A = this chain, B = another copy of it.
Amino acid sequence: MITSTSNPQVKQLQLLQKKAKERELQDVFVVEGVKMYREAPKDRLVHTYVSESFLRKNPSVFEGVEPLTELSDRVFESVSDTKTPQGVLCLVRRCHHTLRVLLEEYREDSVSGSMAGTATIGQPSAVRAPLILILENLQDPGNLGTILRTAEGAGVTGVLLSRDCVDIYNPKVIRSTMGSVYRVPFCYSQDWRGDLDRLKRQGVRLYAAHLKGEKYYDGISYREPSAFLIGNESRGLTEETAAMADAYIRIPMCGQVESLNAAVAASILMYEANRQRRD
């Protein structure tokens, strides 16, 4: 059991919680809590850390788990990003998707079926056209996490992020994804204009949520391959990005509301696509 906060492993964990650069270098991220531990893909689980009192209460949970390191409660608190830590955290290997994955046709079993072990050979799986979310310069960790959570729920096939978005492995983002960070394919674009162009050439229509939108968001069909462009919380999309859209769409607003929260706007759009695709 580690009982000192100056232990090198402890120092390392603290760095991984705080620094995006360090997470990138080590190619891992930290997840906290029982739910996030349970849902972590086993083939990507690198190391599990448990607090002394949590291990004492739940010894059977960690039978056979390795590598497993026990930390004194005080040390565990020093590496936790939450005020009232549950007592378990782990390092998970990061995922490296490319734009191609976001473009693959979505098979229902690739998300829930295969993990629940219900995919049956010979039984055709439901195939859906790509439904992509494109995020430009999103800055609020809570917003990004919430968007990922809703994206999984709405059946989004992938998320493309501009390089200046907040780090998706930031502990606050991870927490608000409620596990969706493991399951929704995403990638940071290394060539923004090029990637948007590639999506368009593959037949994906790009819809910009924009205050200048001429059409209401629910006046368009998203049954074909579609992507929603969502911009920064206060400035919206850059002009260059908005100019690449096939159409501007608008969420109508009553009263004196000038814009909606970015996660709310994205959610309304994703669920409109979900609604249409269920019809």
Contacts and interface: CB of A to CB of B under 8 A. Distances in A.
A251 B271 contact: yes
Given A264-B264, A267-B264, A255 B152 contact: yes
B146 A261 contact: yes
Contacts of A257: 149, 152-153, 178, 180
- Per assembly, the copies of the chain total 2
B267 A153 contact: no
Nearest to A254: B155
Given A142-B142, A218-B275, A275-B218, A112 B264 contact: no
A24 interface: no
A256 B152 contact: yes
B254 A152 contact: yes
B150 A260 contact: yes
A261 B176 contact: yes
Nearest to A145: B261
B264 A278 contact: no
A183 interface: yes
A117 to B, nearest CB: 13
A174 interface: no
A27 interface: no
A39 interface: yes
Interface string A249-278: 001111111111101100110011011001
Contacts of A271: 251, 268
Contacts of A112: 254-256
A49 B180 CA distance: 44
A258 B149 CA distance: 10
Interface of A: 39, 108, 111-112, 115, 142, 146, 149-150, 152-155, 176, 178-180, 183-184, 216, 218, 251-261, 263-264, 267-268, 271-272, 274-275, 278
20 contacts: A111-B254, A111-B255, A111-B256, A112-B254, A112-B256, A149-B260, A150-B264, A152-B254, A152-B256, A153-B251, A153-B257, A154-B253, A178-B258, A178-B259, A216-B278, A252-B278, A254-B274, A263-B263, A267-B268, A268-B271
The list of the 5 closest CB pairs from A to B, nearest first, reads A155-B254, A153-B257, A153-B253, A152-B255, A111-B255
